[in-house]
Amino acid sequence: MIRTLAVHDEHWPTAQVFTIARGAKTEAHVLVAEITQAGVTGRGEAVPYPRFGETVAGALATVARVRPAIEAGASRGDLQDLLTAGAARNALDCALWDLEAKLTGEPAWRAAGRTRLDPVKTCFTLSLDTPEAMAEAARAASRRPVLKLKIGGPDDLGRVEAVRAAAPKTRLVVDANEALSFETLKRLAPEFARLGVMLIEQPLPSGADHVLEGYDSPVPLCADESLRTRLDLAACARRYAYLNIKLDKTGGLTEALALAAEAKALGLEIMVGCMVATSLSMAPALILAQGAAFADLDGPLLLARDREPSLVYEGSLIHPPPAGLWGQA
């Protein structure tokens, strides 16, 4: 077996400033791994998670450390032992899935145990802003089935009220990105329920969410930053009804599928999320999103441009990836 690994970073500008409780960004800085064998190349894209101390430079160095093993033929199973969860492992894991699909002719979704790959409806994210600005954005997106609102400031109730007035028929999810206190959550949750909010994502800091055990929230709670891999599942199951699984957190599709299976066995519901990134990041997550309660795979919709070939978004409906993007020969 002769295998080569190439890895590089890319910059993709956002359509506008994207703001959450932790800060703002004007571009997606992604890591792309390419593994070539027998004349075909498998690709994977990942976004290092600053929240977990990751950087693009660090991810590039991590990939470089395991290059000999990858080029010697390491499998996806081997990769789970070679690297811990994170963007570097995600890029390599997804590249190996893509490579296997191209070498065997079996689509990645079938290798993952799916009987088919259906289109998926995604949430559409509204960046954190003033109530007035978020209402304007909601009005422009009011035909989308689910809007996800970034919150995390002194006027969060005003934000949700303004969005609800601007998009009265749209389902709403709010995402605090760890920005609330427990007292604030207990005050806001009944108001959010009144406004028809379906889900509150990561209200408290991950290190402080033990207080959620025994709390009967009027709106279901979803773990995000508190959940990376199956190692976090037991604690999250005591505190949340939903889990936001992201490939950049799990370190690839391989661990994400195992995590989702165990979570469902415990009766937990799944949201499949993403970082702001291109269609190459979203394509593997579509496999995970089959049958999920929520998909939040709108990363390319937040960019000024996407890579080619790209996923086809018909409104909020994401069609399966075309040949040449990812996951099939």
- Kindly report, residue by residue over 65-102, the tens digit of the pLDDT: 999 999 999 999 999 999 999 999 999 999 999 999 99
Secondary structure E strands in 132-224: 146-150, 171-175, 197-201, 221-223
- How far apart, in Å, are the Cα atoms of 284 and each of 107, 173, 195, 297? 11, 23, 34, 11
pTM: 0.97
- Domain assignment of residue 291, given as a range: 120-318
Query: Considering 25, 102, 148, 246, which one is annotated as catalytic?
Result: 246
Q: Is 246 marked active-site?
A: yes
H or E element that contains 163: helix 156-166
User: Is residue 325 one of the residues assigned to a domain?
Assistant: no
Output the pLDDT for position 1.
75
Six token digits for residue 30? 């992604």
Residue ranges for the chain with pLDDT beneath 70: none
Predicted confidence at residue 139, as pLDDT, reads: 98
pLDDT tens track for 40-65: 999 999 999 999 999 999 999 999 99
CB 44 within 8 A of CB 32: yes
CB atoms within 10 A of CB 60: 18
Q: For residue 211, how many other CB atoms are within 10 A of its CB?
A: 13
Q: Is residue 326 in a domain?
A: no
pLDDT at 21: 86
Of 106, 139, 157, which one is at a domain's C-terminal end?
A: 106
Residue 323 domain-assigned (yes or no): no
Edge-to-edge strands, sheet with 40-46: 3-20, 23-37, 40-46
Q: How would DSSP label each residue in 12-80?
A: EEEEEEEEETTEEEEEEEEEEEEEEETTEEEEEEE---GGGT--HHHHHHHHHHHHHHHHTT--HHHHH
Domain boundary among 106, 130, 154: 106
The verdict on 288 and 166 lying in the same domain is yes
Active-site entry in 25, 148, 150, 249: 150
- Using the 8-state DSSP alphabet, how is residue 200 labeled? E
Res 111: pLDDT? 98
Are 193 and 185 a contacting pair, CB within 8 Å?
Answer: no
Structural domains of the chain, count: 2
Q: Are 21 and 128 in contact (CB under 8 A)?
A: yes
Whether 121 sits among the annotated catalytic residues: the reply is: no
